[in-house]
Amino acid sequence: MTELDGWLSLEETATYLGMGKTALYAMAREGRIPARKIGKKWIFEKSGLDQWVRTARPLQSFFLDADFKIDGNDHLRDPQREGYLRTYEFFRAGKNKAILQIPVGCGKTGLASLLPFGISGGRVIVIAPNLTIKDGLYEAMDITNRQKCFWRKSGVLSADQMLSGPLACTLDSGNLSIATKSHIVITNVHQLATNVEKWLTQFPDDFFDMIIVDEAHHSAAASWQKVIERFPKAKVVLLTATPFRSDRQELDGELVFRYPFRNATLKGYIKRLKASYVAPSTIELGFSDAGGKTYTLEEVLKLKEEEWFSRGVALARLCNKHIVDSSLQKLEELRQSGTQHQLIAVACSINHAREIRSLYLERGFNADVIHSKQTEDEQEAILAALRNGSLDCIIQVQMLGEGFDHPKLSVAAIFRPFRSLAPYIQFVGRVMRVVVQNDPGHPDNIGHIVTHLGMNLDARLKEFKQFENDDQAFWDKVIGGDEPEVPQAVLDGTTRLRAGDQVIVHGEVVDSLWEEDFTSVEDEQIIADLRERLKLLGLDDSKAEEMVRLAQQSPVRKNSPTAPFMVQPQREWEEARKRMQEQAKRLANVLLNHVELKQTGTEMVYKYKTLKLAGRNNYVCALMMVNKEMEKRLGKERQQATTEEFRSVLDNLDDLLQVLVRRVRKAKAVYEKIDS
């Protein structure tokens, strides 16, 4: 093999490049220099080496000297180009901490990939809030991933330019030497900040020139601040899809760029969303220890701001039925396109989520619950069923948050009040991703939010529209944040668990379904967009303004109520029996909570002998007591009970609990009297 052939041996290449053979061998093995292995020997093409030398740049100047294409790149989305240019101007002016906000589905990962170029004078660290987002960021910035590398797909860098990088790594394995050889380090905040001695303190304070924080509404938390403060000279970029913090501290930075939701809707980056509210003409409410009172729609509109009222509506089975029926109607409408759209619901608690699951199942729709107390295998099985389309509905409790991407989720059913805008927008974000890219008029790019008027969520939508209209006072309010105080009893763990709900809905007459558009698009924007489309079709664009005026609707539209979905009696019976089993297990824990006993203790077996129980621990004994009392109230074996008899027991769990609590306390008193 000679130089005349255009190929060089390892020794010839080391001489040609003026470097040691050992270092060259290591670079070839790690793929950091163009090379081929023939048998046991490495060979190097001279033309490839020349190209590599031209593109190889010192790490400190790599991003500053790189030949990248952002401005005028039609493969990039508007918020990506505009967000980058605003950030470039910001740092060029000598400023240090920038906040950028673009909605979910608009290319936030791509924007993060662009930001180092022309701005960073050294290494970059990208910090994600969780593993899902971290993995997505790494895929987008891995130049060896030919299918998912963002720079390759969007034409920001050519294949020749990527011969020498940028090289990305995670902190999942390896040590400081790997990060030293990389241009970009991608990690999640817990990995970096939880064990500071393993990683954070290993990096010199000038190791990174730029810090990019994804989902930056977390960045006020102590763990994020610890990372940011470690590198005091680094440029900081806070990226977020929802511009609200998760705690009450101020985000430290200047708002550099914000891409409105309405623009994202017009461009087809996110779905066109509509909000629907079950509106009762009358609703009869009572308390668990008192009779009911009937409220008119006018009174409901006043009371919905009261926490006790909105929570009572959220937990009421009858109100839940009306939300279920209305959400399924929207799901069926969307499925007329032939696409298997799916529904995501949010509940107040795990027990509440199971109740909602049963309502969907009774109506012939496959549904399941996902929550944080399940094992990882259980969660993965449920998510697999969602992704393969076998699930129609998924009900979540504090799950499927940031980074969860499943475009066929197109109906968001809300069964809980949201007291502030941030969690409301974050949940709604789960149904924003489009099914068909860049086609705002496609029937599959519509999403629905369905809830009950009594939960006061129209107030959250009103707040969102204030934010969209660039109301500066409102912006200041949501960035500063006003979250409700958590009751002290919840914080210190002394709160008493309840078997049932304090507020009970005895009856509800629904006479309408109120609807309004989630994103408000200004008339001028609609007219301008319509004019452009008419021109492309060769039609008279002067008619655009008149067409918009004729099509105008009132912001809130009053439609006919949803007809109830048929309930299959067999499924209803099966679900009622399943709820008996689930509630028995839950009630056993609630009973132990009331009498202040641990699950693994044995007091109910060996001390409270008047109970005459033979379980191996307190939990088993409590479960036996609950099941026995349920059977007593049914008056027959469960296999012989009717759905109505199951529901009679389920609707009176609080009374059942109090009977058992008194029984255990009486047994405890007898034991203490004998023992003394």
User: How far is residue 397 from each of residues 314, 352, 591, measured CA to CA in Å?
Assistant: 14, 9, 23
Letter for the amino acid at 473? Answer: A
CB 168 within 8 A of CB 184: yes
Helix crossing, 643-650 with 618-634: angle to 10°? Answer: 130
Q: What is the reported pLDDT for 193?
A: 67
Alpha helices in 7-77 (DSSP H): 10-17, 21-29, 46-55, 62-65
Looking at residue 433, the DSSP 8-state letter turns out to be: B
CB atoms within 10 A of CB 494: 9
Q: What is the reported pLDDT for 402?
A: 63
Give exposure, 198-237, as e/b (b: 16+ Cβ within 10 Å).
ebbeebeeebbbbbbbbbbbbbbbebbeebbebbeebbbb
Q: What is the reported pLDDT for 289?
A: 44
- Helix, strand, coil percent content, the chain, rounded in steps of 5: 45, 15, 35
CB 209 within 8 A of CB 124: yes
388 Cβ contact list (under 8 Å, min separation 6): none
Q: What is the reported pLDDT for 572?
A: 92
CA dihedral 194, 195, 200, 203 (to 10 degrees): -160
Q: What are phi and psi of 584, to 5 degrees?
A: -60, -45
d(CA 342, CA 389): 8
Edge-to-edge strand ranges of the sheet holding 97-101: 168-170, 184-188, 123-128, 208-213, 235-240, 97-101, 254-258
Going through 229-336 in order, the beta strands assigned E by DSSP cover 235-240, 254-258, 272-287, 292-296
Estimate to the nearest angstrom the gap between the alpha carbon of 337 and the chain centroid. Answer: 26
Letter for the amino acid at 421? Answer: L
Give the torsion sign (CA, 530, 533, 535, 539): negative
Half-sphere exposure (CA, 13 Å, Cβ side) for 429? 25
21 Cβ contact list (under 8 Å, min separation 6): 10, 11, 14
Is the bond preceding residue 166 a cis peptide, omega within 30 degrees?
A: yes
Q: What is the reported pLDDT for 660?
A: 94
d(CA 184, CA 203): 14
Helix crossing, 544-551 with 523-536: angle to 10°? Answer: 130
**Residue with structure tokens 């944080």?**
372
d(CA 557, CA 562): 14
Q: What is the reported pLDDT for 483?
A: 40
Among residues 99, 38, 80, 88, which one has the least CA distance to residue 63? 88
d(CA 415, CA 349): 10
| Token output for 348 | 């107040």
Q: What is the reported pLDDT for 463?
A: 74
Phi-psi region at 400: left, alpha or beta (left = phi > 0; alpha = psi -120 to 50): left
| Token output for 7 | 């190929």
User: Which regions in the chain score pLDDT beneath 50?
Assistant: 1-3, 220, 246-249, 288-290, 471-472, 474-495, 499, 501, 506, 521
Q: What is the reported pLDDT for 251?
A: 58
First-to-last CA distance in the chain?
98
Exposure of 384 by Cβ count < 10 A (0-12 exposed, 13-18 middle, 19+ buried)?
exposed
